[in-house]
Amino acid sequence: KAGVTQTPRYLIKTRGQQVTLSCSPISGHRSVSWYQQTPGQGLQFLFEYFSETQRNKGNFPGRFSGRQFSNSRSEMNVSTLELGDSALYLCASSLAPKNIQYFGAGTRLSVL
């Protein structure tokens, strides 16, 4: 069974631009969560989706948004990029909430 797939793997953007990251969960998994990983802040929770509904949101500004589609694939969007948004963005999927979360390899975003 294929693991969590995140695309693209690497992105370079400039300040002010927007970006969309994609996540395909493990087949059959309906819960998708997003995390931001930086050297200074570690792994921080962004969003959690289940059955196309955002169930929980972390402490991030409104520039960070996301959605989940009927096939459980998820996207997250960051608008008006700032230098501090440079990070590894990780997606994790699980069968259902409070089950084991399996992570993708992440998307490395660099904002110049």
Partner 1 sequence: GESVGLHLPTLSVQEGDNSIINCAYSNSASDYFIWYKQESGKGPQFIIDIRSNMDKRQGQRVTVLLNKTVKHLSLQIAATQPGDSAVYFCAENRNSGYSTLTFGKGTMLLVSP
Report how far apart, in Å, the C-alpha atoms of 83 and of each of 13, 43, 45, 94, 108 are: 10, 18, 19, 31, 13
Report the residue from 24, 68, 87, 104 that binds partner 1 according to the rule CB under 8 A. 104
CA-nearest of 44, 19, 20 to 34 is 44
Parallel, antiparallel or unpaired: strands 87-94 and 31-38: antiparallel
Q: Is 7 in the site for partner 1 (CB under 8 A)?
A: no
**Part in contact with partner 1 (CB under 8 A); list of ranges 12-20, 69-77, 78-86, 95-103:** 95-103
Q: What strand order describes the sheet that includes 64-68?
A: 5-7, 19-24, 74-78, 64-68
Residue recorded with tokens 């409070």? 98
Nearer to partner 1, 17 or 88 (CB): 88
**Residues from 15 through 74 that contact partner 1 (CB under 8 A):** 31, 33, 35, 42-45, 48, 50, 55-56, 58
The site that binds partner 1 (CB under 8 A) totals a number of residues, namely: 27
Residues that bind partner 1 (CB under 8 A): 4, 6, 31, 33, 35, 42-45, 48, 50, 55-56, 58, 90, 92, 94, 97-106
